[in-house]
Amino acid sequence: MADLQGWIERDVASVWHGFTQMGAYANNHPVIVERAEGRELIDVEGNRYLDAISSLWVTTLGHRVEELDQAIRDQLDRVAHTTMLGNGNRVVIELAEALAPLVPVDRPRFLFASDGAAAVEQAIKIAFQYWTNQGVRSRTSYLAFSGAYHGDTIGSLAIGDGGFGTDIFDPLRFPVVRTPSLGEPGAVQAAIETIATNASRLAAIVLEPLVQGAAGMAMHDPEAVQAIAKAAQDNDVLVIHDEVATGFGRTGTLFATDQCPGVQPDMMVLGKGITGGYLPLAATVASQRVWEAFIGEDLSERTFYHGHSYSGNALGAAVALRHLELLEEWNVLANVTERAEQFRQLLSTQVGPLAGVAQIRQRGLMIGIELSAPEDGLRWGRKVSAACVDRGVLIRPLGDVIVIMAPLTTTSAEVETIVGAVAESVSEVCGQ
């Protein structure tokens, strides 16, 4: 059996990692996971790391949850995958039925995909065709926000706001109407005015409700989401809520939209936590209004001509269905509320006062600690994360924002471990 260095060499020789400079990968102390237990990852040498980023924001209940493992085994004894194109699958129907009463969308229909970006792509195409199906040809643009991130396919990149090295793709991005991030002063009013001015050319507004995760946990209030919903309604523009990151309990409620009374988006995008972090599954949720615009004669142009090979994968649907039940059975949201409060208190006493910490932003278990390096190029985010990994807590930063996105079942002791590791690491890197 190869040791860690041997595995890293084999990794570099055959695997290309996303968002990773492969020329430097081997020297950046990657963790090579072999297995996991609960919320701990175990590497090829037996070292343990608390998964404080929920494996890039997907893991909800933890790893190797007996009930979720069993759901996949049971489904394997039925069938692993069948196509959604023109045919159905029992467990996919059951999943859609179970999700329907939970999503804040009017009489929802679910178009499944495999990743968040693909589901965003579906939503923006559906919004465009929603209008053309009704003979409206002018609605070809979208309102999107500064700091937005919706994934890496060309369409979702276009709605997103660049950064993370993706500016190189600017020539491939289609133009959108961009308005400031809703947490900025005056941004809500600016967005309302922009919607009114551009209504006749807007197919939809695409919004990450309450938290723009990839922007470094940029946050805004429910009232901002309500104001956008009202402006959209007044100007007859569709609203798409991208809850790929915020969905399935991260913000303290099942969906962030649930914290915005009276708001029902025309479409919602789900991904990441939908399977508890087990399998690639995502969904575009369409309201009755949207759905109706696509109903017509067989083979007619009103059909949505779109679909992927693995859309609605049966194993993914089975684990997603069991995951929904467990969220309820284990009263997971109550733990999110308690652990979120514990994080808030410990971070404010142990991390907030440290030199180098500019701001701590938090909604539920989505947390961003913004560092303020005195000069560019110090790469504090990267260094603090590496120091956390040395202490057995897996963290991955967004620039100089330290992201903590602990699994929803994280215990009180684990919260203390995570905050302790972050506090020590920030002190070590940024000075006292």
Ligand X SMILES: Cc1ncc(COP(=O)(O)O)c(C=O)c1O
Burial pattern 336-369, b for ≥16 Cβ within 10 A else e, equals beebbebbeebbeebbeebebbeebbbbbbbbbb
* Residue 290 touches ligand X, criterion: CB under 6 A: no
Distance CA 343, CA 252 (A): 13
SS3 call for 353: coil
What binding mask, one character per residue, do residues 223-242 give for ligand X by CB under 6 A, x or -?
-------------------x
Which residue is nearest to ligand X, using beta carbons? 116
Distance CA 234, CA 262 (A): 15
For the four alpha carbons of 206, 212, 213 and 215, in that order, the dihedral sign comes to positive
Q: Which is nearer to ligand X, 50 or 279 (CB)?
A: 279
Largest CA distance in the chain: 69
DSSP 398: B
Task: Record the tokens describing residue 297, joined without a space.
Answer: 């004669």
Q: How far is the CB of 275 from ligand X (least distance, A)?
A: 11
Q: How far is the CB of 150 from ligand X (least distance, A)?
A: 5
Q: How far is the CB of 112 from ligand X (least distance, A)?
A: 13
* Residue 276 touches ligand X, criterion: CB under 6 A: no
* Residue 273 touches ligand X, criterion: CB under 6 A: no
Q: Which is nearer to ligand X, 208 or 414 (CB)?
A: 208
Q: Which is nearer to ligand X, 191 or 211 (CB)?
A: 211
Distance CA 125, CA 311 (A): 16
List the interface residues with ligand X, window 80-139 (CB under 6 A).
115-117, 120
Q: Which is nearer to ligand X, 99 or 282 (CB)?
A: 282
Q: How far is the CB of 261 from ligand X (least distance, A)?
A: 22
Contact 242, 211 (CB under 8 A): no
Angstrom CA distances, 205 to 140, 202, 241, 268, stand at 12, 7, 8, 11
* Residue 150 touches ligand X, criterion: CB under 6 A: yes
* Residue 365 touches ligand X, criterion: CB under 6 A: no
Q: Is 287 exposed, middle or buried (0-12, 13-18, 19+ CB in 10 A)?
A: buried
What binding mask, one character per residue, do residues 175-214 give for ligand X by CB under 6 A, x or -?
---------------------------------x----xx
Q: How far is the CB of 155 from ligand X (least distance, A)?
A: 11
Of the residues 149, 248, 278, 343, which one makes contact with ligand X according to CB under 6 A: 149
Of the residues 50, 103, 123, 245, which one makes contact with ligand X according to CB under 6 A: 245
Distance CA 225, CA 428 (A): 39
Of the residues 44, 244, 371, 418, which one makes contact with ligand X according to CB under 6 A: 244
Of the residues 108, 147, 151, 277, which one makes contact with ligand X according to CB under 6 A: 151
Q: Which is nearer to ligand X, 115 or 370 (CB)?
A: 115
Contact 29, 386 (CB under 8 A): yes
What is the binding site for ligand X (CB under 6 A)? 115-117, 120, 149-151, 208, 213-214, 242, 244-245, 271
